[in-house]
Amino acid sequence: MKAFLDPAADYHMHTRYSDGCATVRETIEAAISKGFRRIAITDHMPLPFINRYAVKPDEVDAYREDIRRIRDDYADVIDVKMGLEMEYLSGLEAWTERIAGAGWEYAIGSVHGIIAGGRHGIVNGTQAEFEQLLNTLFNRDIRALCTCYYMQLRRVVASGLFTAVGHMDVLKKHNINHVYFNESEGWYRELVAETLDQIGASSMKVEINVSGYDHPVASPYPSPWIVAECIRRGITLVLSSDAHRPDSIGRNFEKLPDILNSATMQ
């Protein structure tokens, strides 16, 4: 079992256009200073409702132009892809399809939230937000929430709009000591396996998002056993920091050997 990942590439980061804290130029310069040769700037796509983390709809053109203009200044030292991290929420597919239709060099398909029963809840947020989602939309049925999450992720894959799957199992973010579910249970592994089968039949990559080490669960997204399943299926893996500030670009990349070693033990 082998995996080939580029340590000089980081394909997931955010700027001030969404919930990051640096400009496009500051982000590119930080990546260069850390020795990166390839990056994708992937701010959160605009959403048609109030939120705290996405690009404002009227700033998308400025975002695209900033990346195009500024990356030219550094073209001889780094390849910068104009990207976006997108969602494919139920009932809002046309919204995402329109944004995706603008053309992106790197498009991450992620599940940050779930719409069920006409209500929106956050998966990748604070524990209070996850609890609210579990309580109000799923009546504390964690298996139903996990099923809905992975079904939503499969719709992301089936859409054909995206380059890579973002933080594949981020719903475990607050699952310290299996407080919500146990990843070794058959029903959960079946959900993951069926999702990976669909990804494997597509052209999508799966990112190893090491930001999870800085989250409560202190684990990469996805878990090493899922990384092992990706490798067995021949799914292309890419490495990403999901950085929201310059000093986080490439963070935790040194843990990749441990992740792959753990994967080989599965």
233: left (phi over 0), alpha (psi -120 to 50) or beta: alpha
Which residue range is the domain that position 117 belongs to?
9-264
Residue 142 belongs to some domain of the structure: yes
User: pLDDT category, 186, cuts 50, 70, 90?
Assistant: very high
Distance CA 247, CA 20 (A): 11
Q: What is the pLDDT of residue 52?
A: 85
Q: How many domains does the chain have?
A: 1
Quickly count: other Cβ atoms within 10 Å of residue 107's Cβ: 24
Q: What is the pLDDT of residues 100-138, one digit of tens each?
A: 999 999 999 999 999 988 899 999 999 999 999 999 999
Q: Tell me: pLDDT of 239 over 60.
A: yes
In the beta sheet, which residues pair with residue 41? 82
Residue 57 tokens, joined: 């709809």
Q: Tell me: pLDDT of 21 over 60.
A: yes
Residue 2 belongs to some domain of the structure: no
Distance CA 79, CA 36 (A): 9
Residue 67 tokens, joined: 């990346």
In the chain, the percentage of residues whose pLDDT exceeds 70 is: 98
Quickly count: other Cβ atoms within 10 Å of residue 187's Cβ: 11
Q: Tell me: pLDDT of 26 over 50.
A: yes
Distance CA 199, CA 233 (A): 9
User: pLDDT category, 148, cuts 50, 70, 90?
Assistant: very high
Strands (E), 133-253: 164-165, 205-209, 237-240
Amino acid at 127: Q
Helix (H, G, I), strand (E, B) or coil at 238: strand
Residue 1 belongs to some domain of the structure: no
Residue 83 parent element (H or E): strand 79-86
Q: What is the pLDDT of residue 235?
A: 96
Q: Which of 72-76, 248-252, 262-266 has the lowest mean pLDDT?
A: 262-266
Order of strands across the sheet that contains 38-44: 9-10, 38-44, 79-86, 106-109, 164-165, 205-209, 237-240
Residue 3 belongs to some domain of the structure: no
Q: What is the pLDDT of residue 1?
A: 44
Q: Tell me: pLDDT of 152 over 90.
A: yes
Average of pLDDT values for 235-264?
95
Q: What is the pLDDT of residue 134?
A: 97
- Domain with residue 49: its CATH number is 3.20.20.140
Q: Tell me: pLDDT of 204 over 90.
A: yes
Q: What's the chain's average pLDDT?
A: 96
Residue 4 belongs to some domain of the structure: no
Residue 236 belongs to some domain of the structure: yes
Residue 79 parent element (H or E): strand 79-86
Average of pLDDT values for 198-227?
97
Residue 10 parent element (H or E): strand 9-10
pTM: 0.95
Residue 39 belongs to some domain of the structure: yes
